[in-house]
């Protein structure tokens, strides 16, 4: 029941603020229920059995038996960390709050609704339910961008909804085919993940399905060349919207990729390993170099997401235990670092009135606390040891060296580029002489500080001592690679 | 035996009473409405007790299929009367006839689904159609309403002629008017069969606004009083599809005639044209008219699939479409009646002016666009699956592409409602009866969305019963 409880708390955190129709009450209700859902997800972590490699905390109930659809939830070492991350970011984004006081109670409800959909995606074992949650995420995020976004919000929200909707339609078509193949082979209607894993599919059809599913998820990750919705959506979204977008919405793509096509068609995945790895490396490079050219801090961070999420695809393509562990760990690590960076950019915009790097300069003189967080977050972003991104990216590299040998070495220059754009931006914006044209109104306020503090502590803690998370993910990836017959 | 016609009898009686009140007072606008509501509720209660009855009274057949469809028609009539009440209070002439016409049209629809014989079917069909022509033109002093009524009558009469011609050809070929008997006798040996089928497809195609027989739809939907538009979109269209199912699926099911491909072709044309033209509409009423055309195309997918699953999916679509469109036109009736207007921009900031109706409209739009888990999603999903199940891959794929296209124009309405913030938006009182009707539709869409199982079962039962 604990998984449903997490969803229930997020649902209450959505509906009650809306019903309260009061900005202050809405904020407290949203924070309260996000906190409860985080507590519930930590309880799930506490009762999680590390020695059991399969799905746990399972809940199953019939939903629409006539169409073979059930309400089936469960978690394993891959999904539970992401569920915890979702609840954590629900709390952090609610604490961080809005960019401007306007329709606040609606805003907080939308934040929790986004998290509800995302948590559902990570838990659902019935692929139809998975799809339903997947679509549920789309709606609140659309409103977050379209109502609370920046000047080009109409364009950005529209692009977001079209790109992701096309991706999900292709995904549901692939589920459809699986459904019918199962009906033919076993005579039963089902959408259950565990049932589909039993299917025997002809290699030709399997490749088509694999490509369709991978395409659907790659749009969401996103990888080059399907990434163009991301900078637009990120730059226009309100800060808390960007936090969720970078923190968990991108993870839906990575999770889906690992969970669905890789599990169903591992042989095909091995055939496509080199093309996927090349796409991943292109994404890593493209993201890093495009970020270097950005003037807006927010679009710099957005493009760095493309680069960082490339590691997830690289790990998935390598299909070795270490690479998979690294990919899953990278999702969590990027899920804390990137939201932190977006909060920094958001606060900068509140206080200085601009995010354009050339217009900034010497911000550290007027916002010392902000500057400390910014430097720490940037260092975490470039993968310095003792931060969680280091653990993640290092593990992915080790794992993919095993699989790809020389090809994986191409990634190293990108790591240097990453350091380059983050430090270069720091030098121009944060340090140096103070730009006297700037008018800065104070430093971080309490709510911003609290939200950032939670994320930063977690990033450093997992960098120093990654075992609590690593053990859980490791159990999954070792078991998974064993299941699909080794490297 | 005779008790199976009581629901129709009750509605007819109350239709008479509704007109009769105007003899005493033309000023009392509520009395005929309350009488109509009372009549519908009585009929609903009585109908509920007939759930498991299967019986016949002359050519009037009552079975589970008829029961399900009558429930839908009565519910639609109930909602339309509720929506009309606020709207008609300001009308400067008597309104008793309006409610009476709605009730009479409903009786026609209810008899249609009990008809398994061509003459009964035709008479009932015309009863419903003639009443709706008059309803479309009810606002006598409004040019648009007059135009709508005239166009509807003109096209309707033409299609009636086609239908009658087609039916007479079938009678001539088989010597019977019983649908089940026809299905046994009719075969493709005679080329006249194709002529008859063509006439019937064209004639009924007009009624459900299938392309290329759809031209009347946008003008009539836009010009008619909005509550009448709700009735046409939710009720008349459902009747058209029901007739389609009865004549084609019951009458011509086993006949060795391959009309499936024709229907599939018309379905593709209908949904594609409806969705693409809707993209350019500024007037929401007109946009929803094109969306109605598109949805007729979706519903025809199930008929082309011609499996029990497919036909049941079409019926399911009738149900969800009726709820979504009755609700959506209900909201537009509110905006028209309060002078807000009916273009996309006019709906701007509706969330501030009328929060409940704005939320309901948003959910109807999402449901029409096919977002899960709402009622409209399941009907589309089920229709597409049934097409795949019958091997019509291409049809399902085109349906899916259409569904994606439709997101564009529904999203425009949603964007206007929630995103735009007009500077001087003030709360407008949301009239009780209309809001009640819209909320009932909303609950229906949500209940079907989250728990479609009982509805799916009921409709599958109904279809298994009528399919030979």
pLDDT of residue B254: 62
Question: How close A72 comes to chain B (CA, Å)?
Answer: 15
Output the pLDDT for position B218. 93
The answer as to whether A8 is a domain residue is no
Q: Is B454 on the interface with A (CB under 8 A)?
A: no
Compute the distance between CA of residue B373 and CA of residue B360 in angstroms, rounded to an integer: 15
* Cα separations in angstroms, A427 against A7, A431, A472, B55, B367: 43, 5, 38, 87, 50
Q: Give the residue from B350, B367, B415 with the most A CB atoms within 10 Å of its CB, the best one to mutate.
A: B415
Question: What is the percent of chain A with per-residue pLDDT over 90, rounded to a whole number?
Answer: 51
Tell me the per-residue pLDDT of A289-328, one tens digit each, with 9 for 90 and over: 999 888 899 999 999 999 999 999 999 998 888 899 999 9
Residues of A in contact with B382 (CB under 8 A): 67
Counting beta carbons within 10 angstroms of the beta carbon of residue B468, is it exposed (0 to 12), middle (13 to 18) or buried (19 or more)?
exposed
How far is it, in rounded angstroms, from Cα A81 to Cα A330? 11
* Chain B neighbors of A162, CB-CB under 8 A: 407-408
pLDDT above 70 as % of chain B = 99
Mean pLDDT of chain B: 90
pLDDT tens for each residue of A123-134: 999 999 999 999
Whether residue A132 and residue B453 make contact (CB cut-off 8 A), yes or no, is no
| Confidence category of residue B79, pLDDT binned at 50, 70, 90 | very high
pLDDT value, residue A362 = 84
pLDDT band, very low/low/confident/very high, at A485 (cuts 50, 70, 90): low
Q: Are B187 and B126 in contact (CB under 8 A)?
A: no
Is residue A1 situated within a structural domain? Answer: no
Å between B453 CA and nearest CA of chain A: 5
pLDDT computed for residue B232 by the predictor: 94
Q: Is residue A150 part of a domain?
A: no
List the structure tokens of A486: 């080794």
Whole-number pLDDT of residue A486: 55
Which tens digit of pLDDT belongs to each residue from A437-474? 888 888 888 899 999 999 999 999 999 999 989 888 98
Mean predicted lDDT score pLDDT of chain A: 90
Task: Name the DSSP class of B243.
Answer: H
**So what's the pLDDT on residue A38?**
96
Which pLDDT band, with edges at 50, 70 and 90, does B211 fall under?
confident
- SS3 state at A69: strand
Q: Are A108 and A19 in contact (CB under 8 A)?
A: no
At residue A285, φ and ψ (nearest 5 deg) are -70, -50
Min Cα–Cα distance to chain A from B296, Å: 22
Q: Is residue A483 part of a domain?
A: yes
What's the complex ipTM?
0.87
pLDDT of residue B255: 59
Predicted local distance difference test score (pLDDT) of residue A180: 87
pLDDT of residue B284: 94
pLDDT of B35 > 80? The answer is yes
Listed residue (B110, B65, B104, B64) closest to B81, CA to CA: B104
Q: What is the pLDDT of residues A345-370, one digit of tens each?
A: 999 998 888 888 888 888 888 889 99
Kindly report the nearest CA distance between residue A73 and chain B, in angstroms. 17
Angle between helices A273-292 and A411-429 (to 10 degrees): 20
Lowest model confidence (mean pLDDT) among A56-60, B100-104, B300-304, B419-423: B419-423
Q: Which residues contact B167 (CB under 8 A, 6 or more apart)?
A: B118, B122, B177, B196, B200
Picking from A66, A136, A171, A212 by the largest number of B CB atoms within 10 A of its own CB, the best residue to mutate is A66
Tell me, yes or no, whether A365 lies in a domain. yes
- pLDDT digit string, tens, across residues A392-414: 998 999 888 888 888 888 888 88
Distance CA A23, CA A20 (A): 8
| Cα distance between residue B239 and residue B232, in whole Å | 10
Of A146, A161, A173, the CB nearest to B419: A146
Mean pLDDT of B97-110: 95
Q: Are B414 and B365 in contact (CB under 8 A)?
A: yes
| pLDDT (0 to 100) of residue A73 | 94
Return the minimum-mean-pLDDT range out of A44-48, A310-314, B197-201: B197-201
Q: How many contacts does A have with B, using Cβ atoms within 8 A?
A: 54
Check residue B54 and give its pLDDT.
87
Structural domain that includes position A376: 280-487
Domain assignment present for A61: no
Residue A101 reports pLDDT greater than 80: no
Residues of A with CB under 8 A from a CB of B: 63-67, 131-132, 135-136, 138-139, 142-143, 146-147, 153-154, 157-158, 161-162, 165-166, 169, 173, 176, 180
- Concatenating the DSSP letter of every residue in A35-67 gives HHHHHHHHHHHHT--TT--S-EEEEEEEEEGGG
Rounded to whole angstroms, how far apart are CA atoms A76 and A298? 34
Whether residues B400 and A132 touch (CB distance < 8 A) is answered with: no
A386 within domain boundaries: yes
B30 interfacial to chain A (CB closer than 8 Å): no
Q: How far is B102 from chain A (nearest CA, A)?
A: 36
Residue in B with minimal Cα distance to A64: B453
Q: From CA B393, how far away is CA B310, in angstroms rounded? A: 14
Checking if the pLDDT of A376 tops 60, the result is yes
Per residue in B137-194, pLDDT tens? 999 888 989 999 999 999 999 999 999 999 999 999 888 888 888 888 877 777 888 8
CB atoms within 10 A of CB A52: 12
CA distance A296 to chain B (A): 25
Per-residue pLDDT, averaged over A209-213, amounts to 92
Q: Which residue has the tokens 């998984």?
A: A3
- Within a domain: A361: yes
Predicted confidence (pLDDT) per residue in A190-200, tens digit: 999 988 888 88
> What pLDDT, on a 0 to 100 scale, did the predictor assign at position B314?
94
DSSP string, A362-417: -HHHH-HHHHHHHHHHHHHHTT-TTSHHHHHHHHHHHHHHHHHTHHHHTHHHHHHH
Mean pLDDT of A43-58: 88
pLDDT attached to residue A435: 84
Report pLDDT digits (tens) over B218-255. Answer: 999 999 999 999 999 999 999 999 998 888 888 776 65
CB-based contact A176 B460, cutoff 8 Å: no
A157: nearest CA in chain B? Answer: B415
Q: Considering its fold, how many domains does chain A have in total?
A: 1
What was the pLDDT predicted at A416?
85
Q: Do B372 and A135 touch (CB under 8 A)?
A: yes
């Amino acid at each position: 029941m604990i998984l449903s409880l997490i969803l229930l708390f997020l649902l209450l955190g959505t509906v009650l603020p809306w019903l309260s129709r009061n900005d202050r009450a809405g904020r407290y209700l949203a924070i309260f229920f996000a906190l409860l859902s985080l507590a519930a997800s930590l309880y799930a972590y506490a009762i999680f059995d590390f020695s059991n490699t399969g799905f746990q905390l399972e809940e199953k109930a019939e939903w629409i038996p006539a169409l073979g659809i059930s309400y089936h939830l469960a978690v394993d070492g891959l999904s539970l960390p992401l569920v915890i991350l979702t609840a954590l970011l629900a709390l952090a984004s609610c604490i961080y709050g809005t960019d401007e006081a306007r329709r606040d109670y609606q805003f907080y409800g939308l934040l929790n609704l986004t998290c509800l959909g995302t948590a559902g995606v990570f838990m659902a074992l019935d692929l139809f339910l998975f799809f339903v949650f997947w679509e549920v995420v789309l709606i609140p995020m659309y409103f977050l961008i379209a109502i609370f976004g920046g000047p080009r919000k109409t364009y950005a929200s529209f692009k977001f909804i079209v790109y992701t909707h096309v991706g999900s339609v292709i995904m549901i078509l692939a589920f459809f085919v699986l459904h019918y193949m199962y009906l033919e082979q076993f005579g039963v209607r089902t959408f259950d993940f565990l049932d589909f894993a039993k299917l025997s599919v002809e290699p030709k059809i399997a490749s088509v399905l694999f490509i369709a599913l991978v395409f659907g998820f790659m749009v969401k990750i996103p990888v080059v060349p399907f990434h163009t919705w991301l900078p637009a959506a990120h730059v226009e979204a309100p800060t808390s919207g960007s936090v969720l977008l970078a923190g968990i919405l991108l993870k839906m793509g990575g999770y889906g990729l690992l969970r669905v096509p890789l599990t169903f068609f591992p042989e095909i995945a091995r055939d496509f390993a080199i093309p996927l790895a090349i796409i991943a490396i292109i994404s890593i490079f493209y993201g890093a170099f495009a970020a270097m050219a950005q003037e807006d801090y927010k679009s710099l961070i957005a493009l760095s997401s493309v680069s960082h999420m490339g590691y997830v695809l690289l790990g998935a393509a390598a299909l070795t235990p270490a690479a998979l562990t690294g990919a899953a760990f990278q999702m969590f690590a990027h899920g804390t670092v990137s939201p932190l960076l977006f909060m920094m950019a958001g606060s900068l915009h509140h206080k200085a009135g601009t995010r354009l790097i050339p217009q900034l300069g010497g911000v550290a003189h007027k916002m010392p606390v902000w500057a400390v967080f910014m430097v720490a977050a940037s260092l975490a972003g470039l993968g310095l040891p003792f931060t969680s991104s280091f653990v993640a990216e290092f593990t992915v590299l080790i794992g993919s060296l095993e699989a790809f040998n020389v090809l994986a070495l191409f990634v190293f220059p990108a790591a240097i580029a990453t350091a380059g754009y983050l430090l270069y931006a720091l030098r121009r914006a944060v340090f140096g002489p103070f730009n006297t044209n700037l008018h800065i109104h104070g430093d971080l306020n309490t709510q911003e500080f609290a939200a950032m503090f939670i994320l930063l502590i977690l990033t450093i803690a997992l960098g120093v001592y990654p075992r609590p998370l690593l053990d859980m993910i490791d159990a999954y990836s070792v078991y998974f690679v064993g299941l699909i017959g080794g490297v | 035996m005779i008790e199976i016609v009581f629901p129709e009898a009750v509605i007819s009686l109350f239709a008479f009473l509704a007109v009769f009140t105007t003899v005493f007072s033309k000023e009392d606008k509520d009395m005929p409405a309350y009488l109509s509501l009372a009549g519908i509720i009585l009929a609903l209660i009585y109908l509920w007790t007939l759930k498991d009855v299967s019986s016949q009274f002359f050519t009037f057949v009552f079975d589970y299929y008829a029961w399900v469809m009558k429930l839908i028609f009565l519910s639609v009539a109930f909602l339309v009367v509720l929506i009309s009440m606020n709207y008609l209070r300001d009308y400067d002439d008597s309104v008793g006839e309006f409610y009476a016409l709605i009730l009479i049209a409903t009786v026609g629809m209810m008899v249609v689904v009990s008809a398994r014989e061509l003459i009964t079917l035709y008479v009932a069909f015309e009863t419903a159609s003639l009443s709706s022509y008059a309803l479309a033109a009810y606002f006598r002093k409004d040019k648009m309403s007059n135009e709508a009524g005239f166009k509807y009558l003109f096209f309707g009469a033409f299609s009636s002629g086609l239908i009658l011609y087609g039916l007479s050809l079938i009678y001539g070929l088989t010597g019977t008017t019983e649908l089940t008997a026809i299905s046994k006798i009719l075969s493709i040996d005679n080329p006249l069969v194709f002529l008859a089928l063509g006439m019937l497809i064209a004639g009924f195609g007009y009624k459900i606004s299938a392309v290329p027989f759809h031209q009347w739809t946008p003008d009539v939907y836009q010009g008619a009083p909005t509550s009448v538009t709700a009735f046409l979109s939710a009720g008349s269209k459902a009747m058209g599809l029901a007739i389609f199912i009865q004549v084609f699926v019951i009458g011509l099911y086993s006949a060795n005639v391959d009309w499936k491909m024709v229907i599939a072709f018309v379905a593709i044309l209908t949904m594609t044209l409806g969705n693409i033209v809707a993209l350019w509409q500024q007037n929401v009423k007109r946009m929803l008219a094109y969306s109605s055309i598109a949805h007729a195309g979706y519903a025809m997918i199930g008929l082309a699939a011609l499996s029990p699953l497919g036909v049941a999916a079409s019926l399911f679509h009738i149900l969800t479409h009726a709820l979504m469109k009755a609700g959506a036109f209900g909201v537009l009736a509110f905006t028209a009646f309060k002078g807000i207007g009916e273009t996309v921009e006019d709906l701007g900031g509706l969330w501030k002016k009328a929060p409940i109706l704005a939320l309901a409209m948003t959910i109807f739009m999402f449901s029409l666009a096919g977002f899960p888990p709402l009622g409209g999603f399941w009907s589309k999903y089920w229709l597409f699956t049934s097409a795949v199940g019958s091997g019509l891959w291409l049809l399902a794929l085109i349906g899916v592409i259409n569904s994606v296209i439709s997101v564009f124009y529904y999203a425009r309405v949603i964007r206007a409602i929630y995103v735009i913030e007009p500077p001087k938006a003030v709360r407008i009182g949301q009239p009780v009866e209309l809001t009640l009707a819209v909320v009932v539709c909303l609950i229906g869409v949500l209940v079907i969305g989250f728990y479609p199982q009982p509805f799916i079962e009921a409709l599958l039962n109904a279809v298994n019963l009528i399919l030979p």
